Chain A
Amino acid sequence: MMSFILYKAILCVGVFTLSLVIAMYSTLWERKFASFLQDRVGPDRAGPWGILQPLADGGKLFFKEEIVPNVSNKFLFILGPCLFMVTALMTGVVIPWGKDVVVHGTTYALQITDINIGILYLFGVVSIGVYGIMIGGWASNNKYALLGAIRASSQMISYEIAMGLAVIALVITAGGTLSLREIVEKQDAGLCNFVYQPLGFLIFFICALAETNRAPFDLPECESELVGGYHTEYSSMKLGLFLFAEYINMFISSAIMSAFYFGGYNFPYAHELYNAMGLQEGSVWISLIGFGAFFTKTLIFISVFMWVRWTLPRFRYDQLMNLGWKILIPLALANLAITSVVMYFVNR
């Protein structure tokens, strides 16, 4: 029992560290990628290829003056970014990072917890994330922050519906399970879910962009209208937490997309490769290779997020709402209906 708790604790710390490191280096990769798309070089002064740039940025944020507005609600003002960060990190709990490892007869799952309502848990935690922005924006006692927070929460709530509907269709195709591990395992034998749910994936992807407040849906922090949006009044590391949590959200949604639709740690001809290498089921190497595949997919999705950001202009607020309510939700409903009918006949 002790070893089980110890193992889970190590895994928690591992996922925590991984999320933070990825978020850190996403900021660098974002700037690098943006500059590549714009025929520039990007940050390259801090260390070779600028790899120390995130540390310099983080250090800068730590040394900035901590400003709490006089008229703000101080408790909520501090609670906002903390909540946003905590919920961003909590989503990493249910993601299956790799196949189980068997060492000396004990099975170690590369997943912190495999709850059978994993998807519900995910959606629940993501919904709490809205509170972080909302509380932060409201507690700032600043009209721009409040407007940004209202935009953020209405946008996230609107797009959660279409996202949820897309995921229900996915759950139907995956055989009615809400456990992330089972969804991933189902894609081991057959094709990945993207083949069955291309429209569902598209809807999910668009909604993921909106959920993470990424361009072209970055209205909550729209500089041209709202100064800085919900984090206008924030400075120092509290601002850092908001920005950081956004990158963690991006990482987690990329991971979820690759787990849901692209087979997670499975990849084509995986079993042939393992057989050719003479690896037994439960070997550490299988888990590591699987983790590598999963990670590669995730990184590709993060890059696509950035690619979209540096290509498309921002939506107008009414366009955003029109897209969410009048296009994505009906589409997701149609997708759900068609999937249900088809699966009914397939399973009969």
Chain B
Amino acid sequence: MALQLTNRSKVVSNKEQSFMESLYLPAIFKGMMITFSHLFKKRATLKYPEETRQTSAVYRGEHVLKRDENGAERCTSCGMCAVACPAEAITMESAERKKGEEHLYREEKYASTYEINMLRCIFCGLCEEACPKEAIFLTEKIVDTDYEREDFIYGKDRLLEKMTQRIDISKRQTPEVLAFKKIPGLKHNELFDGKKLNKGKH
């Protein structure tokens, strides 16, 4: 006998049908009863736009660019998210903050454009993990459907958190997560904490 991997295997027999079996009607009736019993079972369907499936608190959906408590953009256009992104979905351009824009941008440098291609994005969350300024987060929102490919490249207009509807990310930004992001062994932390980035290039 061959090696038995599971106990689900069945011995197939080729024995002749009995008279009752050859009538088929009992078997048909049994089958009909099975389908009939399904009339009274719970529907598996979720009527999507009206109902949504409950997601985990750290579900990885559409991104948001957070503002700080004063409403200034947190992103400093450092490009860590773009480097971390395995799908190369993130592109950005930097600009220098002018005088009088302190209420708009938290630090001297900011992203003048920030684009995520939602068709490239695989929603892995590495951008969120890489961000040293706690600026980008994934939310529970599912990316909307659209007709054109261009329409899936989300700019700052769609990504930036609206002042009127702030997004709660406290479930994602737990002290454990913050502590994890400070672990020196991680590549991006090492680079940042060692101030290697500040030398030369910048």
Contact = CB atoms under 8 A, between A and B. Distances in A.
Interface of A: 35-41, 44, 307-308, 310-312
B55 interface: no
Given A41-B47, A44-B47, A36 B31 contact: no
B41 interface: yes
Contact of B35 (A37, A40, A44): A37
A41 B46 CA distance: 9
B43 A41 contact: yes
Contacts of B36: 37, 307
Interface in B1-54: 28, 31-32, 34-36, 38-39, 41-45, 47
B24 to A, nearest CB: 9
A307 B34 CA distance: 11
B31 A37 contact: no
Contacts of B47: 41, 44
Contacts of A39: 38, 41-45
Given A40-B44, A41-B43, 9 more contacts: A39-B42, A39-B44, A40-B45, A41-B45, A44-B47, A308-B32, A311-B31, A311-B32, A312-B28
Contact of B38 (A37, A44, A308, A312): A37
Contacts of A307: 32, 35-36
B69 to A, nearest CB: 43
Contacts of B43: 39-41
A39 B44 CA distance: 6
A185 to B, nearest CB: 32
Nearest to B45: A41
B59 to A, nearest CB: 24
B94 to A, nearest CB: 46
A36 B37 CA distance: 10
Interface of B: 28, 31-32, 34-36, 38-39, 41-45, 47
A37 B39 contact: yes
A312 B25 CA distance: 11
Interface centre among A41, A307, A311, A312 (most CB of B within 10 A): A311
A36 B45 CA distance: 11
Contact of A310 (B28, B35, B44): B35
List of 4 A-B pairs having minimum Cβ-Cβ separation, nearest first: A41-B45, A311-B35, A37-B35, A39-B44
Contacts of A44: 47
15 contacts: A36-B39, A37-B35, A37-B36, A37-B39, A39-B41, A39-B42, A39-B45, A40-B44, A40-B45, A41-B47, A307-B36, A308-B32, A311-B31, A312-B28, A312-B31
A312 B31 CA distance: 8
A41 B39 CA distance: 11
Interface centre among A36, A307, A308, A310 (most CB of B within 10 A): A36
Nearest to B38: A37
A151 to B, nearest CB: 21
Nearest to B25: A202
Contacts of B38: 36-39
A335 to B, nearest CB: 15
A310 to B, nearest CB: 6
A178 B47 CA distance: 52
A41 B44 CA distance: 8
Nearest to A33: B39
Nearest to B27: A312
